[in-house]
Each structure stands twice: as structure tokens, then as C-alpha cells.
Amino acid sequence: MALILRINNIDRTDHVKWDSLVVTEVLSKEVDRLEFQIMKTPAKTIPSVNDDVELEENGTKIFGGVITERNQIIKGGLLIAYDIRCKDYSQYLDRKVVVRSYTNVTARSIVLELVSIYTSGFTTNNVAQSTPSIGSIKFNYEQVTRCLTQLADQIGWDWYVDADKDIHFFDSENLSAPFELSDAGDKYEWDSLEVNNTITQIKNSVFVRGGEYKKTIAEANAQDIFVGDGVQKVFPLSYKYDNITVKDNTTVNTVGTDQQSNPAQVDVLYNFNEKFIKYTTAPITGHTVKVFGDAYIPIIAQVRDQISISTYGEYQAAVIDKSITSISEAQTRAQTELKKYSESVYEASFKTIQTGLKVGQRIRVHSVIRNVDKTFKINKITGKVRDSVSMEYTVYLIASGQVSFTDIMVELLTGNKKNITIASNEVLQRLEIFAESAVMGDSVTAQRAVGPYKWGPDPNALYWGLGTWG
């Protein structure tokens, strides 16, 4: 048989109900999955969750992963079956969360460090040798797969983990499919090719609102300048400052902290969070007040695609991510968004029994009949058993970015992590939970008083006034 399924390295090919088997390979955003069914009989070993699973086609491993779900079902009468659902080895990538930031390093070095520190058993043979540099990127308690996806998104690359636990991190622009699609139709089922075009998700003018970066502002370049009127004491500031200096004409004022310092002992109270200074005595009319120091400046960038705007009109969008801490990173992020979404979305799909196609590959669709000549990226492949010995694949293509349901859910579930501020001197409070047993025993010796007592003249008699009723 051309198809072989192994569970924990043991051949279980004869156990599988092959018409139930479906394998799905997805690029970057989602994980690869395998589903199949096993009918329960006394001769069959039913797999358990966390078992390793491998699927081979003609000697080539096309899936490797772990069983994550096992659901028992009734198949008519008393016959029991098990629906088995598997996830690729990214299940093991996500055992730890990453709290780390990087500045001015290559994407490759980040991938290698993440895999080395936060995972075990994975290789990086297919991480591109030459990758763009990253201005800055920060991971706030993110799982490794999310870190790799965010890193790839920032530079417009893709990634996945293959059936041998090797990480592929690559520029899909340089990865070609082994064949093209034409009107000859010899590589695919002729009537299965569909091509769709939409502009519902177009973005050609992108704002990026990041966090803040620190810049030293000298007195000569001060932005916060005020003129006293003898009455005003509170002055709102444009920025938050470290190492703040306040000058009243040529006099350097003493600065205290608002709500903490004694106003009688300083000239000015400074509120960092609310961005204002408050004089204890209003500056004299005509005096110039200057505020300067190490300013925290908000990162706001906009990138526009003029060609797309002239073709479709302007479609604006915004990316809010406080983990962005440099202008160059904000610009790169905006450019990546434009690269994905500034053109109308072309989608295509076809069915084939050809092997060798992988997610991330570029494939040309050249059809005179369909009036299309465009290069697409393979972003999803679904395989089903065709005749018990081979697979039929449905291949999904995309020519530009697409916001999927997965994107929406990931943003809802993890987007708030981008607003966390991680201090360099944080202290981890760790609580470890473990099982422990103990055996305890105790004994008590009962003491009995002289007695029993009774009414009468004998020595053990109870007399009035010498005892109490219980």
C-alpha cells in the first residue's frame, strides 16, 4: 500500500478507515492537521492522546504530529468507533511562553534563539541563511508559534514546521512549485480550477500606532514652552520626561513629584503619568518657562501605496501595537501590510493527484480560456484518500493578503498582550504544585474518677453543696 500510517512508530495502516482520513497543510497562521477514524475491535489497539502519528505517501512523510483529541462514537447498533484528530509538531513548540525583546538583529538569529531556548527536539535546517534585520520586536508571554508568526508578518515571510520537526522560515517569493497550471490541464482536474477576485479587504494607506521611544530634547529644541501670566500654575506637557529640567527664564527650578513631594520644598511638582507641571507660585508675567529632558515620544507612522490608491481609491487601515518601539519597525510593519493588502485579493483553487506541492510555494496560473495569467502562493493543501493507495489534493492559492477567521480570533485572544509593559527588573513569583501524602496517628487514655457515686452515707456518696449537676 502506498499509504502508511504509524502510531508511536508502529505500523497501524490496517487499523485506519481510509475514507475518513483527511490531512490539511496550512501556511504560518494555522497548524497542519490530520483526522481519521478507527473502528474498535478486540484485535485493534486504540491510540491515546499524546501519541505520535506519521503518515507516508509513496515513501515520503507528508504528516508528522501528535494526537490531540480522541472522540468515541457509536456507528450503528453496538459498534464503537474513534474519531482521531492530530495536530502537527507545533503542539510541542508551544509548551513554553516567550518573554523577550530584540533590537537590531536578523530574523534568523531570533528564530534560532527561540528554538534553542524555548523548545527541544526541533531542528532549524530550513531557516533561511540570509534574512532581513529587525529594528525591534517584543514578545510578551507569547507561545513560540505566535512569536514565529509575528516575526514572519513583520518582514512579509512565512514559516511552518515539517513532519520531521524541522522549522522552515523563508521568503515565499523565492520558492517555486514544481509545475505550472495551464489550459492543457495535465497537472490538475480541468474543471476544478476556480479563480476569484475581490477588493473587500484592500488596504493601501496604513497607519501604525506603536508604543513610545525615548529621545533626548535639549533646551534649544524644547517643545514645551510657556509664557507666564502671573496666574497660571499648571502647564500641560506634550511628552512624558525622564531627567526633566524646568527653567523659568534663566533660573533652573527645583522639581518634585506630584502627590509625593512637599510643595513648600520645591518650585515645581511634576506628574509623569498625567503629563503636567504645577508651580507652587505662578511664574511672573512675561517669564518664559521651558521644559526639556529625555522625552517619551509616541510612534506614529503612515505608509501609502500610490499605485494602488490611483487604481482603487484610498482605503485606510490602522495597526495598534504598543510593542513596536522604533520608527523603522513601524514603517516595516506598515510596508508589510501594504505588500499583503494593497492589491485586490485573488483567490484560486484546484484539485490534483500530483505530489510535490508544499505550502509557501509560488505557482503560476496561465489560462487563456479563463483570462488569467498570475502567480499565486499556495497557502493551504487538503488531502483525502482517493483509492486506498493514493491521495487527491485540493490546493488553495492566494495572490495577496487575506484576513481570515483565524486572524480575527487570534487578535481577540492575544491582542491585549501587545499592551503589556514588561520591566527589566520584574520579579517572578513562582508557585509549584505537587502531590504529597502523610500518615498521622494519635491516642488518648481515658481517666476514670473514683465512683460510681450514689446517694447514701458511704464515703463515695455525693452530698449537697459538694458537687454540681452535669
Q: Does a structural domain hold residue 309?
A: yes
pLDDT digits (tens, 9 = 90+) for 179-200: 999 998 789 998 899 888 777 7
Q: Does a structural domain hold residue 338?
A: yes
Query: Are residue 386 and residue 361 in the same domain, yes or no?
Result: yes
Per-residue pLDDT at 405: 38
Per-residue pLDDT at 442: 77
Q: Does a structural domain hold residue 195?
A: yes
Beta strand extents in 356-456 (DSSP E only): 362-367, 372-385, 391-398
Residue where a domain stops, chosen among 359, 383, 398? 398
Residue where a domain stops, chosen among 37, 53, 88? 88
33, pLDDT greater than 90: yes
Per-residue pLDDT at 424: 46
Share of the chain above pLDDT 70, in %: 85
CA 256 – CA 258 distance, rounded (Å): 7
Per-residue pLDDT at 410: 43
Q: Does a structural domain hold residue 162?
A: no
Single pTM value for the model? 0.64
CA 375 – CA 50 distance, rounded (Å): 39
Query: Are residue 309 and residue 245 in the same domain, yes or no?
Result: yes
Q: Which residue has the higher pLDDT, 287 or 209?
A: 287
Q: Does a structural domain hold residue 428?
A: no
Query: Residue 41 belongs to what H/E stretch?
Result: none
Range of the domain at 356: 175-202+343-398
Indicate the SS3 state at residue 461. strand
Most confident of 2-11, 129-138, 299-308, 335-344: 2-11
Rounded mean pLDDT of 216-239?
A: 93
Query: Are residue 324 and residue 194 in the same domain, yes or no?
Result: no
Rounded mean pLDDT of 151-159?
A: 86
Query: Are residue 371 and residue 285 in the same domain, yes or no?
Result: no
Query: Are residue 208 and residue 304 in the same domain, yes or no?
Result: yes
Per-residue pLDDT at 153: 83
Query: Are residue 252 and residue 293 in the same domain, yes or no?
Result: yes
Query: Are residue 373 and residue 294 in the same domain, yes or no?
Result: no
Query: Are residue 234 and residue 311 in the same domain, yes or no?
Result: yes
Residue where a domain stops, chosen among 88, 112, 145? 88
Name the domain count of the chain.
3
Indicate the SS3 state at residue 153. helix
Q: Does a structural domain hold residue 326?
A: yes
Q: How confident is the model at residue 287 (pLDDT cuts 50, 70, 90)?
A: very high
Q: How confident is the model at residue 413 (pLDDT cuts 50, 70, 90)?
A: very low
Beta strand extents in 171-321 (DSSP E only): 194-198, 205-217, 224-227, 234-236, 240-248, 251-252, 255-257, 268-271, 276-279, 288-304, 316-320
Q: Does a structural domain hold residue 413?
A: no
Query: Are residue 337 and residue 358 in the same domain, yes or no?
Result: no
Closest by CA position to 308, among listed 409, 441, 405, 401: 401
CATH code of the domain covering residue 49: 2.30.300.10
Indicate the SS3 state at residue 445. coil
